[in-house]
A and B are shown apart, each in its own frame.
Chain A
Amino acid sequence: MKATRVFQLTALALVVVSAVQVGWWLFDQHAYTVEKVSAARTAYTEQVAAAQALLDSGAAPARVQQLLPGIAISTGHASLAPALAEALTTEEHRRYRQYAWEGSFFLLALAACIAVIARALREEARVREQQDSFLALVSHQFKTPLASLQLSLETLALRAPSPEAARPLIDRMLADLARMEQMVTQILESARLERGRVDLKSEPLQLAGAVARVTAQLEERARQEPISISVDIPSTLTVVSDPLALDVVVRNVLENALAAVRSAGGGRITLSARASEREVELLVRDSGVGFAPAESARLFQKFSRLRSGASGYYGTGLGLYIVRRLMELADGRVSAQSDGPGKGASVRLIWPAALMSAAAPPQPAAGQETRP
């Protein structure tokens, strides 16, 4: 890592020095051309003057012409032969063009090199910063369930409770393990999405089925909080997505809503959906802690944790990032909206609708055929 950086910085320094040298060469070439052309002009001017002096002293024009071949004489007046004057100008322009082309080509190439190296350095710094904050966040997020797990285990060891008294401790430990497992899953999912190592299918899927599967998993936890989840999704709505990705998207958005409502001390989550000609929209509204409207775009960035947001009981700062990436891969979109902290929030997921032209008109039976 460090050696690469030293190499990059050395290369950057060399390229900058080369650019300065090319710049100097350009300047030098220009000065040289100007000097030479002006010297030639002075020499010719002197020849014209000499020819005129010879003519004035009575020398035969033919003799003068023979002595000074570059001079044209007409009616006793000496001047520079037009062909020579033109050749001089042409040569001057040719030289200008030559070094201007060569020089600017090299300068452009060097500028491109500088841009590439600077970009790599900046990117590396950004990645390093992101890795640091990722490590800090992940270690914090892991240490909390780990601390809870250790506390429960040491409580069991220290106090040797009766089986009934031990039950809630064991439940807590299992939930802590589940939390850590979910974090590992999210970290792996986001790493795979980051590297583009995903092979997503595009199939028509019944939205209500996916939502029902996810809410069934979360209902028990929601009831304990207490959080009510109400779902109103027509079973005819079909979206085009990957079956696993659809479940992950719905689960992450719901987990996020649960955390927001839990931080507000309980409340309500409602899921509703509607379809237009080309799109299907799922709206997840919660009565949770909400967020400042200006933060809505930041929500979907990697490792973003909002100051005014949920306590992040389950949060790795990756959940909504995964949602955004998966929605992009499914040609869909996602956005979040809140009127401010304490005022709840809503997340809008939009998928392309399944084309029904080839298939039979939408009917409930077709929708029930959901993938595992």
Chain B
Amino acid sequence: MTAAPPTHVLVVEDDPHLAAGVMENLRAEGYEVTVSPDGERALDWLARHGCALVILDVMLPGADGLSVCRTLRARGNTTPVLFLTARGDPADRVRGLEAGGDDYLAKPFHLQEFLLRVRAILRRWDWYRSASATSATAVLRFGGNEVDFRAFRARAWNGEPQELTEKEAMILKVLAEHTGQIVSREDLLERVWGYDVFPSTRTVDNFILRLRKRFEKDPGNPRHFLTVWGVGYRFLAEGEP
């Protein structure tokens, strides 16, 4: 862990035993931990405090974890969310990630895997923040579009303002860091989501379609987000000649 102030994690879990177990282990790893027994109190807390990660139980009394995450995202809060849930089938995972979650862990889980996933999410966000830290890297300009990575906002070529989701911003960041090079779907998955979170690499394709819709003059005939058949994608800032 960094020597600077400890990374703050919010644990939203209604089961006191599980909350205590998670809290003790995160503290033992050097994180600062706050526990909230329900979604409303967690949203209250998040309105007044910042943290590096939210660990969110899906089945909560009152507002469930998914709606808490949606509310958080609707407020423009991009803090990464790791869902904990008793339901672990693929459809539930996708629902959690669609609600704006970063990762999904089914109960009962292995302690070491849990800690690994926490570290992986924080590492991805550390990379994203440090890669967008300087004024040179915080803003990307291409084909009349302007993307502000720190504010998750963009202005498209036609002057339309765009609100980016954190995943869209991260994908764009990875592609921009490798301008002109081919980036495979697997690399994008690994860099943006971590391992085995999504059932398929098709998800990446959907996100690229969304980016094209936002930033290409003719999304059907892209000039910046190019498909390299069977491999992945290539980003060109200048646009394909």
Chain A residue, CB-CB nearest to B110: A154
**Could you mark each residue 13-43 of chain B with 1 if its beta carbon is under 8 Å from any beta carbon of chain A, else 0?**
0111110111011001000000001100000
Among residues 141 to 166 in chain A, which have CB atoms less than 8 Å away from a CB atom of chain B?
Answer: 143-152, 154-155, 158-159
Nearest chain A CB to B230's CB is how many angstroms away? 40
Nearest chain B CB to A166's CB is how many angstroms away? 12
A143-B107 CB under 8 A given contacts A148-B21, A154-B112, A155-B24? yes
**Could you mark each residue 179-223 of chain B with 1 if its beta carbon is under 8 Å from any beta carbon of chain A, else 0?**
000000000000000000000000000000000000000000000
Selected from B17, B22, B24, B38, the residue in CB contact (under 8 A) with A311 is: B38
> B61 near A309 (CB under 8 angstroms)?
yes
Nearest chain A CB to B19's CB is how many angstroms away? 9
**Is A312 interfacial (CB 8 A cutoff)?**
yes
**Is B241 interfacial (CB 8 A cutoff)?**
no
Assembled-state Cα–Cα distance A155/B111 (Å): 7
A310-B107 CB under 8 A given contacts A144-B86, A151-B25? no
Assembled-state Cα–Cα distance A169/B17 (Å): 9
Give the bracket for the number of chain B residues in contact with chain A. 20 to 34
Assembled-state Cα–Cα distance A281/B138 (Å): 70
A155-B21 CB under 8 A given contacts A146-B107, A150-B109, A310-B61? yes
> B86 near A143 (CB under 8 angstroms)?
yes
What residues of chain B lie closer than 8 Å to A159, measured between beta carbons?
25, 28
What residues of chain A lie closer than 8 Å to B61, measured between beta carbons?
263, 289, 309-312
Assembled-state Cα–Cα distance A147/B18 (Å): 7
What residues of chain B lie closer than 8 Å to A311, measured between beta carbons?
14-15, 37-38, 60-61
**Could you mark each residue 74-113 of chain B with 1 if its beta carbon is under 8 Å from any beta carbon of chain A, else 0?**
0000000000101100000000000000000001111110
**Is A247 interfacial (CB 8 A cutoff)?**
no
Assembled-state Cα–Cα distance A136/B15 (Å): 18
Q: Choose among B21, B25, B109, B110 the residue with the greatest number of A CB atoms under 10 Å from its CB.
A: B21
Nearest chain A CB to B184's CB is how many angstroms away? 35
**Is B59 interfacial (CB 8 A cutoff)?**
yes
The interface size of chain A toward B, counting residues with CB under 8 Å, comes to 30
> B15 near A313 (CB under 8 angstroms)?
yes
Assembled-state Cα–Cα distance A302/B22 (Å): 32
> B21 near A313 (CB under 8 angstroms)?
no
Assembled-state Cα–Cα distance A312/B14 (Å): 9
> A158 near B15 (CB under 8 angstroms)?
no
Among residues 107 to 165 in chain B, which have CB atoms less than 8 Å away from a CB atom of chain A?
Answer: 107-112
Selected from A140, A147, A158, the residue in CB contact (under 8 A) with B109 is: A147
**Is B62 interfacial (CB 8 A cutoff)?**
yes
> A172 near B111 (CB under 8 angstroms)?
no
What residues of chain B lie closer than 8 Å to A169, measured between beta carbons?
21
A172-B21 CB under 8 A given contacts A140-B86, A147-B107, A159-B28? yes
**Is A175 interfacial (CB 8 A cutoff)?**
yes
What residues of chain A lie closer than 8 Å to B109, measured between beta carbons?
147, 150-151
Selected from A139, A151, A308, the residue in CB contact (under 8 A) with B18 is: A151
Assembled-state Cα–Cα distance A170/B18 (Å): 13
Assembled-state Cα–Cα distance A148/B13 (Å): 11
Nearest chain B CB to A342's CB is how many angstroms away? 11
Assembled-state Cα–Cα distance A312/B57 (Å): 14
What residues of chain A lie closer than 8 Å to B60, measured between beta carbons?
311
> A151 near B111 (CB under 8 angstroms)?
yes
> A144 near B15 (CB under 8 angstroms)?
yes
What residues of chain B lie closer than 8 Å to A139, measured between beta carbons?
86
Chain A residue, CB-CB nearest to B21: A151
**Is A176 interfacial (CB 8 A cutoff)?**
yes
Nearest chain B CB to A129's CB is how many angstroms away? 18
**Could you mark each residue 118-151 of chain A with 1 if its beta carbon is under 8 Å from any beta carbon of chain B, else 0?**
0000000000000000001001100111111111
A140-B59 CB under 8 A given contacts A150-B108, A311-B37? yes
Assembled-state Cα–Cα distance A145/B14 (Å): 12
